[in-house]
Amino acid sequence: MTPADTLRFATRAATAWPLRTALMMLAMSIGVAAVVVLTALGDGARRYVVNEFSALGASLLIVLPGRTETGGVNAGSFVSSTPRELTNADAAALLRLPLVQRVAPLAVGNSEIAVGGRLREATVVGTSTDFLELRGLEIGQGSFLPREDFNRASAVAVIGDALRSELFPGQSAVGRMIRVGDTRLRVIGVLAPSGRGLGMTTDELVLVPVATAQAMFDTSGLFRIFVEARGREALPGAQRQVEERLRARRDGELDFTVITQDAVLGTFDRILGALTLGVAGIAAISLAVAGILVMNVMLVAVTQRTAEIGLLKALGARAGTIRAAFLAEAALLSVAGALTGFALGHAGAWGVRLAFPELPAWPPDWAVVAALATALGTGVLFGVLPARRAARLDAVQALSKR
């Protein structure tokens, strides 16, 4: 039998029992669709986090008060126990390092904001001019915080776009006065809408000079210092310089931590990558189940068509021909199911993207290829046993079956 005829014969056999074929395809397609959708979700989450962090810049160092293990992120990285504070003077000292380009000290707190009768709770970030470039922000109206000494508490503020439209609906905000806690500040600029979804949106922030925030919250310490090295290649050198300088400034004690963007990113990448892989593995189990189903269906088909197999032998079919015909049928069922599942899975991922626009829920190529290959592989593998059974049937006995 020519390959084309084998395929045609198998197709006719598959379509002769539409319900059986449809159920079979459903089982296989659910498996493939599950892999596609779940890996799309997992990889989407991974990419989302990576993108979010990349927005901070690739040559970024983050200095946190307190000592935690270096080389990665662990629970301690997010809990700041402060043995000795990081100060504005520390930040200013870092700015003088040769491999450092920008420094933004950070003091953060929550406060009440009042304009006329309007009152609102907002996050206040005390920082410096370099914060704009460091975070890749854009100014919408007016100007950003002026370049001045970190210890100067100017009475100015830059507000996020959402705050502006809430506090000054339909009016210009630049030049107006707001009250933050007990401090009166002049609005000198408004940030452009950030457009970003989850996580750290800047639309509802109030940005003030770091010393202003420290006075407001009655502290002299810093939450973080963001340091940008002169390019990606300078990062390791800059990290060393930052560590040495800070250490020298605190009598050789290492009670602070310098982490790189890469370390944070790498850790998230690994965790979420592993998660995606695990999810894909679980979904792949359903493919194995579908494979066993293919075997079952094909074994039933061999029993159902015993007389037909006997006839084919009487008409001169070789064992190999019969084996190929049944194997082709199993492969056909699997391929059809896998392709349906592929389409279903992509539809599902599309649905996820529609529901969560900020999540880039695209299935990774490796997952799609693996799902299709596994579906095909299991289908053919589990089709071998029934096909061999069919080929081995005794012609005379098979013919006497009804």
Partner 1 sequence: MAQIELDHIDRIFRLGDSEVHALRDVTLRIEAGEYVSVMGPSGSGKSTLLNLLGLLDRPNAGAYRLEGRDVTTLSPDEQATVRSARIGFVFQSFHLVPRLSAAENIGLPLVLAGVPAAERAPRVTRALEDFGLEGRAHHRPDELSGGQRQRVAIARATIMRPAMLLADEPTGNLDRATGHEVTALLEALNAAGTTLIVVTHDPAMGERARRRILMEDGAIRQDLRAAAAAPESPGSGSTAPPP
Residue 326 and residue 388 in contact, taking contact as beta carbons nearer than 8 Å: no
Centroid of chain to Cα 302 = 47
CA distance 142 to 190: 6
Which of 388, 392, 386 is CA-nearest to residue 304? 386
In whole angstroms, how close is the CB of 396 to partner 1 at the nearest point?
A: 5
Residue 389 CB, nearest distance to partner 1 (Å)? 16
Tell me whether residue 99 or residue 328 sits nearer to partner 1 (CB atom). Answer: 328
Please tell me the distance from the alpha carbon of residue 34 to that of residue 24, in angstroms, as a whole number.
16
In the complex, least distance from residue 309 CB atom to partner 1, rounded to whole angstroms: 11
Are the C-beta atoms of residues 386 and 331 closer than 8 Å to each other? no
Nearest to 231 by CA among 61, 72, 104, 63: 61
Residue placing its CB nearer to partner 1 in the complex, 13 or 64: 13
Which residues make beta-bridge pairs with 227? 61, 103
Nearer to partner 1, 308 or 358 (CB): 308
Q: How many helices, marked H, and strands, marked E, lie in the chain?
A: 13, 10
Least separation in angstroms between CB 302 and partner 1: 15
For 76, other C-beta atoms within 10 Å of its C-beta total 14
Q: Please, which residue, 177 or 396, has the CB nearer to partner 1?
A: 396
Q: Which is nearer to partner 1, 75 or 315 (CB)?
A: 315
| Site residues for partner 1 per CB under 8 A | 1-2, 4-5, 9, 12-13, 16, 307-308, 310-321, 395-396, 399, 402
Q: Residue 12 CB, nearest distance to partner 1 (Å)?
A: 6
Q: How far is CA 382 from CA 296, 329, 368, in A?
A: 9, 12, 21
Q: In the numeric block, which tokens belong to residue 88?
A: 């504005």
- CB closer to partner 1 out of 162 and 319: 319
How far apart are CB 319 and partner 1 at their closest, in Å?
Answer: 6
Least separation in angstroms between CB 27 and partner 1: 23
Q: Which of 360, 336, 295 is nearest to 32 (CA)?
A: 336
Residue 395 is encoded by which pair of tokens?
């012609």
- Phi, psi of 155, deg, nearest 5: -95, 60
Nearer to partner 1, 292 or 314 (CB): 314
